[in-house]
A = this chain, B = another copy of it.
């Protein structure tokens, strides 16, 4: 027998516990691309405190050469609700930390919609995968030298 499904309040509590408690970076940007939510995972991965990040453009973590491409994709998703990528796809990109280091992040996105279904902003969950990225690059170099 199935237990009863979570009610609205339980689902809300679960959602809040997830975005505030999970070690992944959870970042929410509004229609203009300004940061409105920045959890502890985002503080740890990118080095900016929530107080520093809130209200800033997401440009604070986007390398300059990638900004145009990022915002084209961002505003396209704001307009259409759809990413240019497969909705289930994890995307990997370089990102810049507060200290100026370049890291590699793997991220997924979801829209936040208002009660009429209009998109208010975009949520992202990001993981630092710099180690894996560097290890793959190191190994592929070895492969290319020997194959």
Number of copies: 2
The 8 listed contacts between A and B (C-beta, < 8 Å) are A1-B55, A11-B37, A12-B16, A17-B110, A18-B123, A21-B110, A23-B89, A136-B139
Cβ of A108 to closest chain B Cβ, rounded Å: 5
Contacts of A21 in B (CB 8 A): 110-112, 123
Q: A132 near B: Cβ within 8 Å?
A: yes
Interface size for A (C-beta < 8 A) is: 53
Give the docked Cα–Cα distance between A24 and B108 (Å): 7
Q: A101 near B: Cβ within 8 Å?
A: no
Would you call B139 and A24 a contact (CB within 8 A)? no
Give the docked Cα–Cα distance between A127 and B126 (Å): 11
